[in-house]
Amino acid sequence: MIEYIHGKLTELNPTFAVIEAAGIGYNIAIALPAYSALIGKEETEIILYTTEIIREDTHELYGFVNRVERSLFEMLMTVSGVGAATARMIMSAFSASELHLIIATGNSKALAKVKGLGPKTAQRIIVDLKDKVLKLDLGDNPNELPMEFADNAGLDPIKEEAISALTMLGFASAASGKAVDKILKADPTANVESVIKQALKML
């Protein structure tokens, strides 16, 4: 198992990051909290803690800025009906501390708002993971990553990036575009992470 990858961040997208280490470029799937934390760190040395998923038809790496995020992601995948894609969507909808609180307090209604999850799976996550989550140490910094970052490129790049991320997560581009338009109309100053988080609860 690959514990972490340490190298230069050469490309960043809301759904993946490329890290060059020892002459090899690793394409690593990420969730929104990691994307937010990595904004502005292009061409610098970073570390992502990884989970490696190997199946007959795919070999994927998922990256996280700390071990707490990774632990939550791996816990989610132990629940029946929750695969890597769904786990990443959940991790994109909530910060680690928010997800920790939701599961610890049994708030299945909040969890069920994630697209494609449904009340039964949300309840199953609560039942299966509540005891495990209560034992999870968030540390001094409970992974409250920055929610705002500067983007001087205007709204079009934000719209395009948000739609691109949503389609990569499996949503139809037309529906994604409508949701993003609605969000940006209501809040023209919203950043990419905020737009995607809101859209995940609308689609």
Percentage of the chain exceeding pLDDT 90 = 49
Classify domain 68-134 at the CATH superfamily level: 5' to 3' exonuclease, C-terminal subdomain (1.10.150.20)
CATH of 4-64, one of 2.60.40.10, 2.70.150.10, 2.40.50.140, 3.50.50.60: 2.40.50.140
Distance in angstroms (rounded) separating the CA atoms of residues 28 and 30: 6
Kindly state the average pLDDT of the residues 118-124. 93
pLDDT in tens, 34-60: 998 998 899 999 999 999 998 888 889
Predicted local confidence at residue 168, as pLDDT: 77
Q: Do domains 4-64 and 155-200 have the same CATH topology?
A: no
Task: Give residue 121's pLDDT band: very low, low, confident or very high (50, 70, 90).
Answer: very high
CB-based contact 33:144 (threshold 8 Å): no
